[in-house]
Structures are given as structure tokens and as C-alpha cells.
Chain A
Amino acid sequence: MVPLEAERHPILRAEAVEYRYAQHGPALPPVSLAVEAGVCLALTGPSGCGKSTLARCLTGLIPHLYRGEMRGTVWIETLPTATTPLWQLTERAGMVFQNPAAQLLATTVENEVIFGLENLGLPRAEIETRLEEALARFGLAALRRRDPRTLSGGEQQRLALASIMSRRPAALVLDEPFSMLDGSAAAELVTALTELSAAGTAVVACEHRLGWLELLPGARVLRLEGAPPPTPEAEALPPLTFRRAPFTLHAEGVTVQRGANVVLRDLHFEARGGEVLAIAGRNGAGKTTLLRVLAGLQRAEGHLTVEDGAPDLGLVFQNPDVQLFNASVREEILYRIPNPDLALYAWLLGALGLERYESTPPLLLSEGEKKRVALATVLMRRPRDGILLDEPALGQDEAHKARLLRLVRALADAGQWVAFTTHDLALASHADRLLLLAEGRLIAEGTPAALLGDDALCRRAGLRSPEQAAWG
């Protein structure tokens, strides 16, 4: 393969590139694209269409680290990725992964940045110059001695960017960079990407939701259509096989303290059966801790009661992998359920679109499908009062979210209480009521329309939509 001439070609270029993982079917249908210096390209499409796979192809991680079958050609500047050593490719194209916490390697912020600079073979003085520059540019100077794992989600994302951009690559590829960030952190990331793009970096970002990326000046959009469209479904689900009598949940003075850190501070609220409640706030505001308290997994001061005593609520965790271990979806859903209600089982399979996966091992399913199996395992237990969902929309496309909302509404119609945490304001707007948390305190509760229309309140809770960010 002969390298192309630099001056005639863009920084990233793919020609009919397609990929098939060794264990699965096709992951990426043929795609061609070109991204020049200073251009921002948004890659979008439904779950499973191959966005993350394409991102890895564009940075050379595929084919160097994966054993699947790649067709077509990708060039980074003039270098064909298939025949160039990976270290030469990563000097030219950097990649920031979806979960910022999972890509941090060092025990201090400055060591995290230094790691990538050492690998460039730079002299000590140059490393120091670039380190200071990166810490200042991404607002990390005051955090330089901190353990990266103790940073907030937004700070971790900035550190991931700093550790890549200090290497001065010509292209930056980001895999779902907004999915784990609250509105304020997402707005900060938009600013950082705008500056990088203006300075001549070619930026490629994969996202389900285009809202944030559309704020980048001159952003181009490429939609991948790899996955088949979801099968049409009925507007509403048939009624559930059981019904909960009306009840009210009372939370009084709920406080959680871990060492010197008060995670939840004197929370008072009420919730009724049949209601859908969204809980929103910045990363670290205490949302997940509140769900753990409600599920009885976290000890707390204060009182949490329903008329029948302590509430009985099932919790679906953010990461479905911690809940699944059986050999098939059927075994997983029916695990340790004495005298299972098979009508409910059939209802769940239908409502969650899992019929064709009954005999499939859950861990082989996609992330969205695993989340639905985890939800079914909790519902099959028939928690008396309702369910709690921790970030159910994370990494899910619109079709998955629509399916989730239908299910949530069916549960509420059966008298169950459903509460979910989310950064997704569109999802929150479908709830009956919204709780806003900030630094462990309940700062507001009311209808989503009323709270999300209050710009000052949303800023305080770190809930900025792309539209609000666009207006400053």
C-alpha cells in the first residue's frame, strides 16, 4: 500500500470500510467518509449500527487490537491504518472512549497526562511544558495531585481529553462523549471541542443524540443505518397481570453520610402509587444513593415508609452486567422465583421485546437488550410497591427509550410507583413529577414542565439542555 500525498487528502479518510467481529455478525456496513482539519463530523444512528466500531477503525485500534475481518481502507493523514504500527497512528489520531472513568490509568491527574507524553519519547522539559499547557487548557491545574477516580464525571472527561490532546494529534475521535455527562459538563465539553476544532483539529464524535453536537459550528452529520429498524409495536401495552392498591410513600429526613461527606441531606418528599417520578441533578448529586436508600440497600437516617411498613421496591442497576449470570434469558428471568407467574413472564417478554432471545445467554445480548433483561428479572419478582431505574436511558437510542416509556406507563397504570434517575431532559419530561437534587439536597420538586422551564433552577441543578446552552 502506497501512502497518499498529504496535501491532497484529509486527515481521516475511510473508503468502503466494513468490519465483522470474530464472535458476532457484521458490526459495520460499508462506510466511506473524509474529515479535513478543523472540521467536526457527528456520527449518529441507532444502537448497534456500528458507530463505536467505526470510531475504532478511524483511530487504528481496529484492526490492530481486534481479531475480526476488516474490508476497505482507512488512512490517518497519509498512513494506511492496516499496515502502519499502532503507535504511529495514535500519535496522529487520539480517541476518547465512552466511559471516562474506565480509561484512566494513573494515580494522579498529572501522571495521567504524563503517561501519553512519555510514550511520544519527548524530553523532560517538553513534557513539563505540555503538561502545564494541558492542565491549564482543560481547567485541571488545581486538581493535578488528585486521584482521577475521585473526580466528577465532567472532570474525568476533561482529563481524558487533556491526556489525549497534550499529545497534539491532528484528529480526535470521541465515542458517545455526552452520554454520561450532566448538562453543565456537556456544555463545557462543547466549548472544549469548539476550541479544538477552531485550532485545526479534525473532530469526529459518535452520539445517539445530536443536540449537543449541533452546537459545534459547522458540524457535519453522517447517519449510519446499519441496524434494521425496530419492528412496529402497539401504542400501549396490554394491562399487567396484577394491580397494586393505592398507597403513599413518605420520605422524612433521609440523610446519608459517608465519613465526613454528607451524600444526602435531610430529604423530605412524598410519592404515590401510579406515579412516574424522575430524579435529576449533576453527576455526584446523590441520585443513585437515593435509589439505593429506597431499595433498602443503603442505610440512612430518617424514615421511609408506606402504609404497609417499609417500601418494597426493585432496583435495576445502571450496569446490567452486575445482574446477569444465567445460561439463558428464560433461566435468568425465572431464577429463584417460586411458583412463577407465567402470564407475567409472557407479558414481560412481549413488553420488552425479548421473545426471540428466550434461549440466548444474556451476556451475549447488546447493552440495550441486557438492560431489558435486567429489568425483567426485577419485575418478575413482583416488588410490591414498584421499581427504581438507575439511568435507564444511558446509551439507548430513541426506539429503546420509547419501549421503556411504554413499559413504565403500564406499570404506573397498574398502581406501581416508578422512579428513575436521568440526565436526559427529554426522558425526564415524560415523568409525572420531577425531583431536582444538588449536592445531596432536594432543591425542587414539581411537574417537569414547571421545573424544566425555570432556567435558573436548571442551571443550579446542572440541567442544561443543548438549546439552553446555545442561548448561554
Chain B
Amino acid sequence: MRGADPRVKLALSLGLSLAVMLPLAQVAAALALYALLLFWARLLPLAARQAWRLRWVLLALFVVDWLVVSLELAAIVSLRILLLTGTFTLLVATTTSDELRLALLWLRLPYRYAFSLSLAFQSLHLLEEEWQTILEAQRARGAWDPPRNLRGLWQQTRELTALTVPAIVLTTRRAWALTEAAYARGFDSPRRRPYRQLRLTGLDGALLAGAVLAAAGLLAWRLGL
């Protein structure tokens, strides 16, 4: 799976994410099947870590949905978020930004947009690193402490909102530095000729067929065909 063509992984992730449209039992079944696929691709621990990071969001949504609407809605919303997290993990963990750019170009996206999207994709993991650095920097000046009680949680939420300022500054600066660096190497040249091309292997073909079949099956199931 790690070495599969990026177009196949994109199709597989998009196809399987269609399962979010299904009712509770089918979403649960789709999630179980997807977990098997991740296990085969040796990505299950990584997906589990991603899901664990969302535990507080999931818990809060689950409690609110349960109290306000029903237990069934609470369960289905949580399972859908888990499913989308899993599909996202498959794509992010096994695709480089260079591969994603080639896939997007194959989809006839203009080079400028394919390049920008792939750079944004590459920067995703940097966002977390930068956020941790900002929190550390605030701790080092005594301006932020981890919450110890509910009152502290409310205070922390207000402070974290203020800290989005340095986060936005850093992200904007990084984006601008990359933009300058790209233009300094002829990013806007009309003479550009790609060096690498994507080629589908036999396994890629089989996975792609599986993705298309899965998407068609999920749609048919949902529409009752």
C-alpha cells in the first residue's frame, strides 16, 4: 500500500469515505473492513494514534449528541469521524507531496494549484510541531500552563485563542518563504517540462478496481438499488 500509485490511494480514500452516508450498522461494518485494510497496510497503529488525538472532540460530540438528540446519532457521528480520520491517515501517511502533485496534475489540475495544494499537504505535519513550539515558548515565559481544573480549562481556552496569532504569523511566513523560493527557481516558467511521470502497476490496477467497486457498492447500498 505504501508504494501504491498516489492516484489509487486518492481513489481508495475517496471511495471508502462514501461509507459515511450509510446508516449505523453499515458504517460500523465499513469501519471494521477499513480497519482490516489498514492492518494489512501496517497502518493501523498510526490510524489509532490519530483517532486517540481526537478523543476529546469525539467524547464531547458524543455526549452532546446523546443528551440533545439520541444515543444512535451520537454513535453514528463518532463512527463517521473515525472513518474519515482513517481515510485521511491512509493518504497522508503513505503519500509524499511530490506524488500528490503528480496525481493532481494527472487529474488536469493547473500546475499552480497542484503545486500549492501539495505544498500545503507537506506542511500539515509542521503545523503541529509549530503549535507545540508556541506552547513551549509561552510556558517558558510563564504565560501558559496546562489546565488543572474546569476553571483552568476555560482560562486555557481563552489563552489558546490568543496564541493563534503567532501560529498564523508563523504559517504565513513559512508559506511566503516557500513561495519566494519557488519563484526564485522559475516556478512561473511557461517552459516547464515534468521529469517524472506516474505509471500504474498490476497491483495498482487491482486496488483501483477495488476502490471503484467499493464506491459503487456503497452508493448502490445507500440508494437501495
A residues near B (Cβ < 8 Å) are 59, 61, 64-65, 85-87, 90-91, 94-95, 97, 99, 102-108, 111, 114-124, 127, 163-164, 167, 292, 295, 297, 314-317, 319, 321-326, 335-336, 363, 374, 377-378, 381
Contact = CB atoms under 8 A, between A and B. Distances in A.
Interface stretch (B81-89, B164-172, B199-207): B164-172
Contacts, number: 136
Contacts of A102: 174, 177-178, 181
A64 B189 contact: no
B183 A65 contact: yes
What DSSP secondary structure best describes chain B's contact surface? Answer: helix
18 contacts: A97-B184, A105-B119, A105-B178, A107-B97, A115-B185, A118-B195, A119-B185, A119-B186, A120-B186, A120-B191, A121-B193, A122-B193, A167-B185, A292-B136, A316-B140, A323-B137, A363-B169, A381-B142
A324 B166 contact: yes
Contacts of B192: 118-119, 121
A87 B190 contact: yes
Contacts of B182: 105, 115
Contacts of A377: 141, 143
A97 B181 contact: yes
Interface residues of B, number: 44
Residue among A90, A105, A315 with the highest chain B CB neighbour number at 10 A: A105
A65 B179 CA distance: 9
B96 interface: yes
B194 A118 contact: yes
A363 B178 CA distance: 20
Contacts of A164: 184-185
Contacts of B187: 87, 119
A325 B184 contact: no
Nearest to A376: B141
B143 A117 contact: no
Contacts of B185: 90, 94, 115-116, 119, 163-164, 167
Interface string B127-169: 0001001101111111100000000000000000011011001
B134 A322 contact: yes
User: Which 10 pairs across A and B sit closest by C-beta, in order of nearness?
Assistant: A121-B191, A119-B186, A103-B181, A116-B185, A87-B189, A325-B165, A315-B140, A102-B177, A322-B137, A107-B96
B186 A167 contact: yes
Contacts of A124: 195
A145 B66 CA distance: 50
B122 interface: yes
B183 A64 contact: yes
A81 to B, nearest CB: 13
A316 B166 CA distance: 15
A123 B192 CA distance: 10
A97 B177 contact: yes
A257 B188 CA distance: 44
A121 B188 CA distance: 12
Nearest to B164: A325
Contact of B98 (A59, A111, A292, A314): A111
A114 B181 contact: no
B180 interface: yes
A461 to B, nearest CB: 26
B140 A297 contact: yes
A299 to B, nearest CB: 12
Contacts of A94: 184-185
B139 A297 contact: yes
Of A87, A163, A295, A324, most B-chain CB atoms within 10 Å: A87
Contacts of A121: 189, 191-193
A297 B98 contact: no
A64 B196 CA distance: 29
A317 B184 contact: no
B112 to A, nearest CB: 12
Nearest to A96: B184
A118 B102 CA distance: 13
B2 to A, nearest CB: 14
B21 to A, nearest CB: 34
Given A87-B189, A87-B190, A335-B143, A323 B166 contact: yes
A292 B135 CA distance: 13
